[in-house]
Amino acid sequence: MNKAIKTAISPTREEDYPEWYQQVIKGADLAENSPVRGCMVIKPWGYALWENMQRVLDKMFKQTGHQNAYFPLFIPMSFLEQEAKHVEGFAKECAVVTHHRLEHDPETGGLRPAGPLEEPLIVRPTSETIIGAMYAKWVQSYRDLPILINQWANVVRWEMRTRLFLRTAEFLWQEGHTVHATKEEAIEETYKMLDVYADFAENFMAVPVIKGEKTPGERFPGADITLSIEAMMQDRKALQAGTSHFLGQNFSRAQEIKFQDQNSEVAYAWTTSWGVSTRLIGALIMTHADDDGMIMPPRIAPSHAVILPIYRDEAQRADVLDYCRNLKAELEELAFAGRALEVDIDDRDLRGGEKKWYHVKRGVPLRIEVGPKDIAKDAVFLARRDTGEQQSVGRAELLSSIVGRLSEMQDNLFQRAKKMREEHTVEIDSEAEFRKYFTPNNADNPEIHAGFAMCYFASEEAVQPLLDELKVTIRCIPLEENDQPGTCFLTGQPAEKRAVFAKAY
């Protein structure tokens, strides 16, 4: 390979995008595969990121009136039978518990399952049915409504082909489940939580998203309305980053969630559910990481800055470390985005280059190098991860400017991602253009796609065969700036709205 510039991650995005993704995760030490097929281990640096994401989201949920609770990991099979009856497209790939004991197996000398269960239990793939069963008990009167509950939990969906963060058998998520007395209130909740997700994605993850409604064919089974936020990855594929469902009375009828209203009449309640998962970390990586590895948006970064002490001998070491520790303490008295700065000192016995690249690959926003020469002029060597910009900065200036720098970086990451999306989004109004747009013309790099096509369409059924042929999906019908009617790109019939068409994760 003839590379002019060496990168910390090999291959680069241009060379092999899917492999680049795996190597970014490895280089940043975010997660790895476990001996259990399809299940990942989230390593400390990745889990600290998830904790920051959780903390921000959890606060937003509480500010919008929700409380957390915890429901069982297991769902009796009969609950899913009920659901399978009334829901088409019911997901059947799941982990099934059939025994409750291990016993010695005299044949193999090992262990074998024993104690068969009367009724198999399913490890929750999502909790609508088990939570609904509890809500049916809790809801009697309109006074018991609304119920606004969220759960942070692990869920399992058996997957054949898995990929760290994007698709794993077990993943971590939150699932909100709410019950309302009126349809209007439930719909309002559905939109409100989509707004919370969009706010979080854009203002904390620096990931621009399109808020939209799913077409009937792409809805959550059992939902009357499914809303989603859709983001563009650097290979220009779409990634669904969060969903919010208005479930109408479908689940409340199946599960008998009824209440006596103010006129003493019994009515079925209206329910919603909404969730985001560790998949968001996949979205974060594919939005911001570059050929040198991860880039953490400062507002959710596990740490804001790392200080690398540089010295030649033990005599220098004491002074340099002393300076670094004082600097760390001063920096940690500052706050950015409602959180005290977190600063690490890396004094491991590693070569300077190795140590530098270690932190570049992990995506720490700011790298601060301190050696005797810097100390002599009361300055530090400062490097920004997003732009690569490096400069000597006086200590006082660092302290007075660091919060502003982090804020600028946060904004820069968002603007850069938004620009990328805008550059790869087109309006398409004919089948020929559509075919051309979604037909790979780049044999060297079949994994980088064209982008988003905004198209009028008359009906999902009419366009589906073409979409199947090109492996394109309708991501969503954008909620905003989408009220001029037009004509279907395929049939020429009148159409109300444009939708986002794209290849997708």
- Close Cβ partners of 242 (under 8 Å, ≥ 6 residues apart): 194, 197, 198, 201, 228, 229, 274, 275, 276, 280
- Work out the widest C-alpha separation in the chain, in whole angstroms: 84
**Contacting residue, 28, 156, 207, 301, with a copy of itself by CB under 8 A:** 156
Would you say the C-alpha torsion 368, 373, 375, 379 has a positive or negative sign? negative
Footprint on residues 386-405 left by a copy of itself (CB under 8 A): none
**For the residues of 409-428, what is the DSSP string, one character each?**
HHHHHHHHHHHHHHHTEEE-
Q: Which amino acid type is present at position 452?
A: F
Q: Among 15, 12, 51, 16, which residue's Cα sits nearest to residue 30?
A: 51
Which span sits near a copy of itself by CB under 8 A: 97-105, 356-364, 390-398, 467-475? Answer: 97-105
DSSP structure class, residue 471? T
Stretch that binds a copy of itself, among 91-99, 210-218, 233-241, 248-256 (CB under 8 A): 91-99
First to last CA, the chain: 29
State the nearest-atom distance from the C-beta of 31 to a copy of itself, in Å.
Answer: 9
* Binding letters toward a copy of itself, positions 19-38, x by CB under 8 A: -------------x-xxx--
Of the residues 80, 166, 283, 495, which one makes contact with a copy of itself according to CB under 8 A: 80
Q: Counting contacts by CB under 8 A, is residue 72 touching a copy of itself?
A: yes
The closest of 382, 402, 405, 411 to 288, measured between CA atoms, is: 411
**Contact call for residue 173 and a copy of itself (CB under 8 A):** no
Examine residue 461 and tell whether it contacts a copy of itself (CB under 8 A). no
**Residues 301-360 close enough to bind a copy of itself by CB under 8 A:** 348-349
Contact flag: residue 205 with a copy of itself (CB under 8 A): no
**Can you tell me the distance from the alpha carbon of 136 to that of 325, in angstroms, rounded to the nearest whole number?**
57
- CA angle 64/69/73 to nearest 5° reads 135
Query: How far apart are the C-alpha atoms of 457 and 427, rounded to whole Å?
Result: 12
69 binds a copy of itself (CB under 8 A): yes
Of 130, 231, 281, 285, the one binding a copy of itself by CB under 8 A: 130
Q: Which range touches a copy of itself (CB under 8 A), out of 6-14, 78-86, 371-379, 451-459?
A: 78-86
Rule CB under 8 A: is residue 86 a binding residue for a copy of itself? Answer: no
- Contact segment (CB under 8 A) with a copy of itself among 75-83, 200-208, 321-329, 394-402 equals 75-83
Query: What are the two backbone dihedrals, phi and then psi, of residue 487, each rounded to the nearest 5 degrees?
Result: -125, 145
98 binds a copy of itself, rule: CB under 8 A:
yes
Structure tokens of 485?
Answer: 């009617």
Count of residues binding a copy of itself (CB under 8 A)? 64
Closest distance between a copy of itself and the C-beta of residue 83, in Å?
Answer: 10
CB of 23 to a copy of itself, least distance (A): 18
Q: How far is the CB of 56 from a copy of itself (least distance, A)?
A: 15
Give the separation between CA 336 and CA 340, rounded to whole angstroms: 6
**By CB under 8 A, is residue 110 in contact with a copy of itself?**
yes
Phi, psi of 494 (to 5 degrees): -60, 145
Which are the contacts of 68, defined by CB distance < 8 A and separation ≥ 6?
58, 61, 149, 150, 151, 152
**Stretches 90-98, 314-322, 371-379, 463-471: which one binds a copy of itself (CB under 8 A)?**
90-98
The answer to whether 123 contacts a copy of itself (rule: CB under 8 A) is yes
The letter for the amino acid at 290 is D
Does 134 participate in binding a copy of itself (rule CB under 8 A)?
yes
Out of 3, 14, 59, 81, point to the residue binding a copy of itself (CB under 8 A): 81
Using rule CB under 8 A, residue 462 touches a copy of itself: no
Q: How far is the CB of 339 from a copy of itself (least distance, A)?
A: 14
**What H or E segment, with its residue span, contains residue 504?**
none
Provide the CB-side half-sphere exposure for 271 (13 A, CA). Answer: 29
59 binds a copy of itself (CB under 8 A): no
Question: Considering only residues 10, 11, 16, 71, which one is a binding residue for a copy of itself as defined by CB under 8 A?
Answer: 71
Whose Cβ is closer to a copy of itself: residue 93's or residue 427's? 93
Radius of gyration of the chain (CA): 26
Q: Which is nearer to a copy of itself, 93 or 423 (CB)?
A: 93
Provide, rounded to whole angstroms, the least separation between the CB of residue 359 and a copy of itself: 16
Nearer to a copy of itself, 108 or 439 (CB): 108
Distance in Å, CB of 229 to a copy of itself, minimum: 24
Of the candidate residues 3, 59, 86, 101, the single one contacting a copy of itself (CB under 8 A): 101
Residues in the chain: 505
Alpha-carbon distance of 501 to 428, in angstroms, equals 10
* Closer of 151 and 473 to a copy of itself (Cβ): 151
Shortest separation between residue 221's beta carbon and a copy of itself, angstroms:
14
Report how far apart, in Å, the C-alpha atoms of 183 and of each of 83, 97, 361 are.
Answer: 22, 37, 48
Cβ–Cβ < 8 Å for 151, 127: yes
Q: What SS3 string covers 106-134?
A: CCCCCEEEEEEEEEEEEECCCCHHHHHHH
In one-letter notation, the amino acid at residue 16 is D
Provide the 10 A C-beta neighbour count for residue 446.
Answer: 10
Contacts with a copy of itself by CB under 8 A lie at 32, 34-36, 39-44, 47-48, 50-51, 67-81, 84, 92-104, 110-111, 113, 115, 120-123, 130, 133-134, 143, 149, 153-154, 156, 158, 170, 172, 348-349
